[in-house]
Amino acid sequence: MLASTALAIAGTAGIAGPAYAAGGTPLRVAMTADIRSTEPGVNRDGNSDMVVMHIVEGLVAFGEHAEIKPLLARSYAISDDGKTYTFTLRDGVTFQNGAPLTAQDVVWSWNYFMNPKTAWRCHGDFDGSGAAKVTAVDAPDPHTVVYHLEKPYGLFLGSLARPDCAGSGVVHRDSLNPDGSWNKPIGTGPFMLNEWKRGQYISLVKNPHYANQDGKPDGFTGSKRPLVDEVRFMIVPDDATAKAGLQRGDVDIIQDLSYSDVKTVQAVKGVKVATSPVMSLTALLMQTRDPLLSNVKLRQAIVHAIDAGQLVAAVGDGLMQPSTSMVPLISSYYDKTQQQAWKYDPALAQKLVQESGYKGQELVMMATKRYPETYSSGVIIQAMLQAVGINARLEVQEWASQLDRYNSGKYQMMVFPYSARLDPSLNYEMMAGNKDKQPRKVWDDPKALALIDSSSQITDTAQRQAQFDELHKLFLADAPMMPLFNGLDVGAFRDNVKGYTPWALKRARAWEVSKD
């Protein structure tokens, strides 16, 4: 009933909200659930981040391929010791209330969000309890902001840009009520908050003061012109209702269409579908401390027995491409070295099985139907392993049970979905580490751990690329797990919507989008 109500409201001519401009119906984006709050990075989830990132902006942001680029900053410089970051602000940027952006506003916002009482999601990433500690933030003049770190941290800019941190977005102090409590976000983004009708929609309207950058759209940065008067994020929990609304024209965009719905929706007249690789990862994990799988030849037999191309074509319904690198396909660090992969070679796999001393013992592989792609992958992998003489059995687990086994390291093999990380160092870190301290870690090769640690400290792109290339070669040789594919961002939209594109961070962007 809730979804039907939301769609009915979307199609009504008399749209509530004092700031709605009479330039036609709003651009309506279907979301599966309501946001949790409008406070950037506070009491948040993915939908909250998606909406808030239309309103607030930070000093830097992720580009189309998750590379760090300036946003409110015109430029930045890093000191030789890696502990001082100096940002120069762009000229002419104003808040949505018309006030000019100054360096003092950046400092005020930072201090507000770093106050423990604010409960900012990313407080622990900058207070020293995590990898970085910001010791001070200065504004030596109105256009310069200086961050001081206790020690070098090569992922500092990426941490600032994270969507779950709301991009460390800068807000005007009038975002607070007189008593210091949160009221609403007043940022510098292309849209500003108009109305939040809980359980139904969030209405954003064009920011008349938006200071756009030149160039083309580029992730969360680049050109971000608001080309429609209003954007409505509609709460439509039921997939069938959302698809019916798209077909009728009551919904303009479904921002996260399931893979299984792609062909059906593509056949709908007046609707288009677009896709983009994202940074999530599905992989076959192998417990390297298992009595059988501690043998690298058996692990190599397993990876050579799996036809990744055939598997991904079946699981992704022809939409995805395989990747056996920990660096996502869409990453700017994915190069020729990352394209090197284990060759599908059943004869070689059988030879390695014999050399490993394997005697047909049962190997149990876990998967869950909670994430259909992981279960389907498990079914296919089981058949491929059995074809080369490996006695694999698929064991289906409830997701909570599988997650417990993953965290404890109590498994032999497991098809597992990793959520997106936005830097290759973090991709490697999520699966590599000391198994005695963190049993969930998959790879504990000392040389690899040293490279991962180094890659997270340095900022030089060429040096980091060289380290990721060396890591990939070590990874192929040791075969502690087999990455299978990155996920997809699948968007469906009416054919009168122009400029909408899915992208690596899997969050809808309503700027640079128009509606006839």
pLDDT value of position 5? 33
Residue numbers in the chain where pLDDT is lower than 50 = 1-22
Q: Which residue is it, tokens 């490697």?
A: 428
- Helix 461-478 to helix 446-455 angle (10° resolution) is 160
- 284, 318, 319, 320 from 314: Cα distances, Å: 16, 7, 9, 9
pLDDT digits (tens, 9 = 90+) for 178-201: 999 999 999 999 999 999 999 999
> Phi-psi category of 284—alpha, beta or left, where left has phi over 0 and alpha has psi -120 to 50?
beta
pLDDT value of position 23? 52
pLDDT value of position 22? 41
Measured from the Cβ of residue 83, the count of other Cβ atoms closer than 10 Å reads 16
3-state secondary structure 199-226: CCEEEEEECCCCCCCCCCEECCEECCCC
CATH for the stretch 278-488: 3.10.105.10
How far is CA 186 from its chain centroid? 25
Q: How far apart are CA 159 and CA 143, in angstroms?
A: 22
Amino acid found at 98: G
Measured from the Cβ of residue 124, the count of other Cβ atoms closer than 10 Å reads 12
| Matching CATH number, 27-252+496-515, of 3.10.450.50, 3.40.50.2300, 3.40.190.10, 3.40.30.10 | 3.40.190.10
Q: Which residue is it, tokens 């070679």?
A: 345
pLDDT value of position 92? 97
Q: Residue 238 in 3-state DSSP?
A: coil
Domain residue ranges of the chain, discontinuous segments joined by +: 27-252+496-515, 278-488
pLDDT value of position 4? 34
Element (H or E) spanning 141, and its range? strand 134-141
pLDDT value of position 371? 87
- 122, 128, 421 from 135: Cα distances, Å: 15, 9, 26
Q: How far apart are CA 168 and CA 171, in angstroms?
A: 9
pLDDT value of position 506? 86
pLDDT digits (tens, 9 = 90+) for 49-101: 999 999 999 999 999 988 999 999 999 999 999 999 999 999 999 999 999 99
Helices (H) and strands (E) in the chain, counts: 15, 20
* Pair of tokens at residue 104: 């003092």
* Pair of tokens at residue 201: 């929609």
